[in-house]
Copies of this chain bind each other. A is one copy, B any other.
Amino acid sequence: MSYAVGDTYEYTFKFSQADVVVFAQLTGDDNPLHLDPEYAATTIFKRPIIHGMLGASVFTKIIGTQFPGHGSIYMGQTFEFLRPMYVDVDYKAVFKIQSVNNERHTAEILGEVMDAQTLKMTTRGVATLMNRTHF
């Protein structure tokens, strides 16, 4: 299947505090902002927030397995972390193909992650990738 400019994909997801702990152990990022409710209470967020890069991992999940899917090779990514993300909250990712180069088999995909209920955007970014099957 080939994808074209303007094609979109939506995906809803959430992370648990157990996921946050796994991410902290895997990456070594034990920033207390993510792990310590007492510390987080002293910050502007009031309670622990998900690592921005954990929330943003939905980009690699979607690109690598769903849109366009297996075989994707990541070439670049930008992220703006606009609002904090919390555990046990449903987030909606909306992805849209912005450009395709069929000779190079590359594409740029805009991804926007938002609270599934309020639709307030938490993370936005553009992925650049190669996929010889789909572009």
User: Which residues of B have CB within 8 Å of A77?
Assistant: 52-53, 56, 77-79, 81
Contact at B29–A57, with CB atoms within 8 Å?
A: yes
Number of copies: 2
The yes or no answer to A101 lying at the interface (CB within 8 A) is no
Hey, which chain B residues are within 8 Å of A71, CB to CB?
31-33, 43
* Cβ-closest chain B residue relative to A22: B26
Given the known A-B contacts A53-B60, A76-B81, A79-B76, are A65 and B29 also in contact in the complex, defined by CB atoms under 8 Å?
A: yes
A90 close to chain B: CB less than 8 A:
no
How many angstroms between the C-alpha atoms of A65 and B32 in the bound complex?
Answer: 9
In the complex, A87 has a CB within 8 A of chain B: no
Contact between B75 and A31 (Cβ–Cβ < 8 Å)?
A: no
Considering the chains assembled together, what is the distance between the CA atoms of A78 and B59 in angstroms? 13
Query: CA of A64 to CA of B48 in the docked complex: distance in angstroms?
Result: 14
Q: Which residue of B lies closest to A45 (CB)?
A: B73
Q: How far is the CB of A24 from chain B (nearest CB, A)?
A: 9
Q: What residues of B have a CB within 8 angstroms of the CB of A43 in the complex? A: 71
Q: Does the CB pair B78–A27 fall under 8 Å?
A: no
Shortest Cβ distance from residue A67 to the other chain B in the assembled complex, whole angstroms: 12
